[in-house]
């Protein structure tokens, strides 16, 4: 099977997934993607992140060149083309390209259903495009609901859009637990330093937490964005800047709990990575991946969105129950295992096999696969 992924910006977690898929017999994987950091992207993954993969990175000038993109995709004569939603016109146009008339199409989408008027009207705008897709892949329940409202049938929707480099993170729980000083007393935030990530809420909650406990834990932040200077001025906060995937294990080994205060976050991969690393997770209800990965007082805590008081209480609870954190972190690893790159590759390989097979044969009507954990 020849498969071309048309992707937005590259990332460490997707590189791990693509490598796992490309390593399977019977599939030829090619990626067309944006070079990280262009047009204000939130991250700046080094090009070496996709080293060894058949990956063509598009420059800022190239990413809007529909003719070039069509040629890059068509030259592989793909059996399947994976498209990222409908917002990037040069990618979306591939679904109607005469040069790809024999290809099957898979659309990915992670936008959660929120019930806004814009979403309610979306089917009128993109319903025909969605109907053109052989499969629609979503990360979890919230996006599944939106896909259904766009007209995708249950038999066409698959969960499991994202995967992580589980093998990179899994050893960190044991490494952390065996530290001479015991389980670390430090919080971690990873993500864009911007309003959507609730940086102002996080800092207000952290101030409250510091004011109500003795010997407060530091807060390490990894990322970049417009509010970086605000973080730098906050007592107890350490800004590490953007951290490349190869350096994440060393950072995570110093952390006792992960915290995310997002106002809007469709399916943050950082929660899956934190769980894989054996970290208890504190996050807001806005974080879509919490639906699949966080169970309150089992492997973390979920709090109301935009509620600094609740977030401060959760940080205080973690501080007061330090002895429980190693067990909570270990529980989260079992939940994250379902998103390991190898499991991701199996899901996607089997989905491709379904749609490349006879159009109306048994494979075309196969039930949704049950993810393995």
- Is pLDDT at 360 greater than 50 in this prediction? no
42 exposure class (CB count in 10 Å sphere: 0-12, 13-18, 19+): middle
d(CA 329, CA 327): 5
What confidence tier does 75 reach under pLDDT thresholds 50, 70, 90?
Answer: very high
Q: What percent of the chain has pLDDT over 90?
A: 87
The three-state DSSP-derived secondary structure of 152-170 is: CCHHHEEECCCCECHHHHC
Name all contacts of 71-76 with Cβ < 8 Å and 24+ positions apart: 72/32, 73/4, 73/6, 73/32, 73/97, 73/100, 74/99, 74/100, 76/2, 76/4, 76/28, 76/30
d(CA 167, CA 16): 10
Picking from 251, 257, 256, the residue whose alpha carbon sits closest to that of residue 294 is 257
Tens digits of per-residue pLDDT, 96-125?
999 999 999 999 999 999 999 999 999 999
- Is pLDDT at 230 greater than 50 in this prediction? yes
What predicted TM-score, i.e. pTM, was given to this entire model?
0.91
SS3 174: helix
pLDDT of res. 102: 94
Once rounded to an integer, what is the mean pLDDT over residues 307-325? 98
Once rounded to an integer, what is the mean pLDDT over residues 361-366? 38
pLDDT of res. 248: 87
Picking from 5, 11, 64, 67, the residue whose alpha carbon sits closest to that of residue 32 is 5
Question: Which structure tokens are listed for 257?
Answer: 């709990």
- Is pLDDT at 52 greater than 70 in this prediction? yes
Q: Cβ atoms within 10 A of the Cβ of 291, count?
A: 15
What single string gives the DSSP state of each residue in 286-350?
TBTTHHHH--BTTTEEEE-TT-HHHHHHHHHHHHHTGGGHHHHHHHHHHHHGGGBHHHHHHHHHH
- Nearby residues of 12 by Cβ (< 8 Å), 6 or more positions away: 45, 49, 165, 244, 245, 248
pLDDT of res. 36: 74
Q: β-pairing, 187-190 with 281-284?
A: unpaired
pLDDT of res. 244: 86
pLDDT of res. 37: 65
- Beta carbons of 233 and 200 less than 8 angstroms apart: no
pLDDT of res. 362: 37
d(CA 149, CA 153): 9
Q: Which domains does the chain have, with CATH numbers?
A: 2-163+340-365 (3.40.50.2000), 166-337 (3.40.50.2000)
Once rounded to an integer, what is the mean pLDDT over residues 36-59? 75
Once rounded to an integer, what is the mean pLDDT over residues 321-344? 98
Look up residue 183 and give its DSSP letter. S
């Amino acid at each position: 099977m020849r498969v071309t992924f048309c992707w937005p910006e590259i990332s460490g977690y997707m590189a791990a997934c693509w490598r796992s898929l490309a390593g399977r017999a019977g599939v030829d994987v090619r990626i067309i993607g944006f070079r990280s950091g262009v047009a204000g992207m939130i991250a700046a993954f080094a090009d070496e992140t996709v080293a060894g993969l058949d990956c063509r990175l598009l420059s800022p000038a190239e990413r809007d060149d529909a003719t070039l993109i069509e040629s890059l995709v068509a030259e592989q004569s793909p059996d399947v083309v994976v498209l990222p939603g409908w917002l990037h016109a040069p990618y979306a146009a591939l679904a109607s390209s005469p040069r790809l008339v024999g290809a099957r199409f898979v659309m990915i989408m992670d936008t959660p259903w929120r019930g806004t008027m814009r979403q309610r009207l979306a089917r009128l705008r993109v319903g025909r495009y969605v109907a053109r897709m052989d499969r629609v892949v979503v990360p979890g329940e919230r996006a599944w609901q939106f896909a259904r409202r766009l007209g995708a049938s249950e038999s066409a929707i698959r969960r499991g859009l994202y995967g992580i480099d589980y093998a990179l993170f899994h050893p960190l729980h044991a490494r952390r637990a065996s530290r001479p000083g015991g389980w670390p007393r430090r919080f971690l935030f990873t993500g864009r330093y911007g309003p959507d990530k609730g940086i102002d809420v996080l800092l207000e909650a952290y101030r409250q937490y510091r004011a109500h406990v003795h010997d407060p834990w530091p807060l390490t932040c990894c990322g970049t964005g417009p509010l970086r200077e605000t973080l730098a001025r906050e007592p107890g906060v350490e800004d590490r800047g953007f951290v490349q995937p190869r350096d994440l294990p060393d950072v995570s080994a110093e952390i006792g709990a992960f915290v995310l205060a997002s106002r809007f976050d469709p399916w943050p991969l950082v929660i899956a990575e934190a769980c894989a690393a054996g970290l208890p997770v504190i996050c807001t209800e806005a974080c879509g991946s919490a639906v699949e990965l966080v169970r309150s007082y089992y492997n973390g805590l979920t709090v109301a969105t935009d509620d600094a008081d609740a977030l401060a209480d959760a940080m205080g609870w973690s501080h007061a129950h330090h002895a429980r954190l190693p067990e909570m972190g270990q529980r989260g690893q079992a939940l994250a295992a379902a998103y390991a790159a190898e499991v991701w590759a199996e899901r996607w390989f089997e989905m491709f096999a379904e749609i490349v097979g006879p159009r109306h044969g048994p494979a075309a009507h196969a039930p949704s696969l049950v993810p393995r954990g």
